[in-house]
Amino acid sequence: MNTTEIDLLVHYELIDRVAVLTVANPPVNALSQRVRAGLVQSVENFEKDDAADIAVIVGAGKLFIGGADIKEFGKPPQPPSLPDVILTIEACAKPVVAAIHGNALGGGLEVALGAHYRLAAASAKLGLPEVKLGLMPGAGGTQRLPRLTGVDVALSMITTGQPVVAAQALDSGLVDRVVADINDADEVRKAGIAYARELLESGATPRSVGALPQPSATQEFIDTWRSRLTRTARGEVAPLTALDAVEIATQTDITTGLAEERRLFLQLMETPQRSGLIHAFFAERSVGRLPDLDGVTPREIAHVGVIGGGTMGAGIATSALLAGFRVVLVEQDSDAGSRARATVAGYLAAAVKRGKLESTRSDTLLAESFATAIDIEALASVDLVIEAVYENLELKQSIFANLDKVMRKGAILATNTSYLDINVIAASTTRPADVIGLHYFSPAHIMKLLEIVVADATAPDVVASAMALAKRLGKTAVRAGVCDGFIGNRILARYRAAADHMVLDGASPYQIDAAIKAFGFAMGPYEVSDLAGLDIGHATRQRKAATRHARDRVPSFADALFEAGRLGQKSGSGYYVYEAGSRQGKPDSLVEDIVIASREAAGITPRQFTDEEIVRRYMAAMIDEGARVVDEGIAQRPLDIDVTFVHGYGFPRWRGGPMKYADTYGLAAVLSDIREFATTDDHFWQPAPLLERLVAEGNSFDTLNSSGKHNA
């Protein structure tokens, strides 16, 4: 055996006429410039090596090739380009096999498409996720994949960015062989060599994917896909551009198709959406990095208690069970406990139906890891308790006072409050250092966002424990400070007030919902009210009534709807009316009548609003309150707000989040909008000091993200 090492992160090894090209760029074998150069050099060496008849490309470590190197994002490209690397592989005069384990994503899969044969471990996942970064495959993915799989499968993979498992890849023709019971790099290397020898024995020759016939698709088929993507992409340009590229593959030869793909790819590189999605990508990786927790060891958590078995409590319990914790849920009586168990069982059954959980594991979790109780003493041995009763401060104080007496020393006491003062709740105990807020979003077992609310006395290791818990639960954790509503709901209250003001002044709730959805939100504010329940907003207004400023404008129409018994989806009517069993609401003229009556009672002469003004006011309120939240240290950085709103409030991911959007729109323009709106309401519209400072300095919110600091 002759071994040659190339100092370009790709190792060349010859084993009985099989050249093995191993990509070794930990942790994910990203396609850095050195890897790209190493692949080109290794393939060229293979072609020149008379002792080698076939080559196998494998990845070292846990996967094949993870895709582009994120360290090179935003930097001038260095040769060789990935398209050139893949053309070198495809044009090789001797056969090349890609042996895939772990993941082959993005450029990694495009490298595999450049090979002549593809073998995959049964556990492998293959995908082209570029649309999630506002891009599309730019190194042949849109041209080669449909030649192997057909147009429908290719479009499903490319326009969603969702990977397929090896069995699906085999069925579609994406891979030629799937090998079971192999998981690591050494095993796939052996399987790849064995497959290569089998190919040699059968007389296999190079088989270029690019030389396959162009895929076929009717115009009707393409138009159907275009209509579907226009509806589901909600303003994103990358999926539709990727469709254009795949359509080109059905019309041209590979050389022309590759050139057009590259043109469209580079076009997407310059779009604001790409910038927004890249920002979201990095923000999600930065949000959990808290320098003040460096070196802090989390407390051990294995046994979790939940107080309250309603929708939220049952969801929290389900989330903990799915993450492998033992859970005990405490309710007020046995009937309530039985209902909670049934709810948890229903959530687990739904996970089984979605293919997220094996039915046998669901049964085991319910039988061995989950218990209900009616006595708070059942929580005496748990490591963490999460209180999830309704929003009543006195009730929560009473619960925490009792927990203080029952729970063991060192246990963590968490509250799932959405608005209430955690410092006050913590003061009900003799151990405020052990108290923290864990604000889940409903449904708690599905929604990814978890606001970790740090009270004044919360110990650093309790914060570290909460961050570790979120990671184990598979959630995105955002650290927040204590105020009414923390990060998300505090900002929501502000922009929702801006929407209510527009309704009072003449806009229709339905026009506002439509304008906000056209902006890219998943739902409009009044659709969200119906989903959450109008009783929630009513209770919040009642709670704040005593401290309301004389100039605050009250959405009397919202209270009138509540008083009429219109609670939203759960009552069959709110701002919209809902047919039995449907979550799709229809506008109701009665709502318009109630709004008109509210305007008349307030002596307001209604005016017209354009959709553009609706978005400007809605976003200005969101951004301005976000600036205050950062300035006060409730959010440590603007990116914390962006992650909160992308993951918890339906903000369009492709815009990056509200603070990224503000930078894109221009902070000076935001400030100008606020000053314009203040000419008719200088009580509500008052520019945040941080916004004014950043504009005066010529800075952006993004300048605060690296350190999380700003001028006080």
- Span 606-649, pLDDT tens digits: 999 999 999 999 999 999 999 999 999 999 999 999 999 999 99
Residue 535 clears pLDDT 70, i.e. is over it: yes
For residue 394, count other CB atoms closer than 10 A to its CB: 8
**What's residue 71's pLDDT?**
79
Specify whether the CB–CB gap between 94 and 46 falls below 8 A. yes
Specify whether the CB–CB gap between 564 and 556 falls below 8 A. no
State yes or no: is 187 an active-site residue.
no
Contacts of 173 (CB under 8 A, 6+ apart): 148, 149, 150
Longest Cα–Cα distance of the chain, Å, equals 92
Residue 7 one-letter amino acid: D
**What's residue 72's pLDDT?**
82
Residue 464 one-letter amino acid: A
Residue 712 clears pLDDT 50, i.e. is over it: no
Residue 157 clears pLDDT 70, i.e. is over it: yes
**What's residue 583's pLDDT?**
86
Q: Tokens standing for 313?
A: 């409590």
Average pLDDT over residues 123-150: 96
**Residue ranges of domains in the chain:** 2-269, 301-480
**What's residue 6's pLDDT?**
46
Q: Tokens standing for 426?
A: 């913590």
Would 2-269 and 301-480 be classified into the same CATH topology?
no
Lowest-confidence pick of 8-12, 160-164, 601-605: 8-12
For residue range 208-217, list pLDDT tens digits in order: 999 999 999 9
- H helix or E strand, kind and range, residue 369: none
Beta bridge partners, 96, equal: 55
Average pLDDT over residues 586-601: 96
Q: Among residues of the chain, what percentage have pLDDT more than 90?
A: 91
CATH class of 2-269: alpha beta
For residue range 437-490, list pLDDT tens digits in order: 999 998 999 999 999 999 999 999 999 999 999 999 999 999 999 999 999 999
What is the band of 229 on the pLDDT scale with cuts at 50, 70, 90? Answer: very high
Specify whether the CB–CB gap between 51 and 95 falls below 8 A. no
Average pLDDT over residues 250-257: 97
Report the chain's mean pLDDT, rounded to a whole number. Answer: 94
What is the band of 7 on the pLDDT scale with cuts at 50, 70, 90? Answer: low
Specify whether the CB–CB gap between 134 and 652 falls below 8 A. no
For residue range 327-365, list pLDDT tens digits in order: 999 999 999 999 999 999 999 999 999 888 998 999 999
What is the band of 4 on the pLDDT scale with cuts at 50, 70, 90? Answer: very low
Lowest-confidence pick of 3-12, 198-207, 307-316, 363-372: 3-12
Question: Which residue, among 535, 451, 476, 500, has the nearest Cα to 609 in the 3D structure?
Answer: 500
Residue 680 clears pLDDT 70, i.e. is over it: yes
**What's residue 707's pLDDT?**
56
Average pLDDT over residues 296-302: 97
State yes or no: is 130 an active-site residue.
yes
Q: Tokens standing for 335?
A: 């009937």
Residue 31 one-letter amino acid: L
- The rounded distance, in Å, linking the Cα atoms of 173 and 145 is 9
How far is C-alpha 524 from the geometric centre of its chain's CA atoms?
A: 19
Lowest-confidence pick of 62-76, 363-377, 400-414, 486-500: 62-76
For residue range 163-180, list pLDDT tens digits in order: 999 999 999 999 999 999
- The rounded distance, in Å, linking the Cα atoms of 223 and 397 is 59
Specify whether the CB–CB gap between 378 and 305 falls below 8 A. yes
- Identify the architecture of domain 301-480 in CATH: 3-Layer(aba) Sandwich (3.40)
Catalytic residue among 13, 44, 47, 130: 130
State phi, psi for 385 to the nearest 5 degrees.
Answer: -120, 140
Question: Which residue, among 297, 306, 288, 298, has the nearest Cα to 413 in the 3D structure?
Answer: 306
Specify whether the CB–CB gap between 87 and 110 falls below 8 A. no
- The rounded distance, in Å, linking the Cα atoms of 99 and 40 is 17
For residue range 376-421, list pLDDT tens digits in order: 999 999 999 999 999 899 999 999 999 999 999 999 999 999 999 9
Kindly report the pTM of this predicted structure.
0.89
Catalytic residue among 13, 72, 110, 358: 110
Among 4-8, 71-75, 274-278, 325-329, name the most confident range.
Answer: 325-329
Residue 708 clears pLDDT 60, i.e. is over it: no
Contacts of 167 (CB under 8 A, 6+ apart): 122, 178
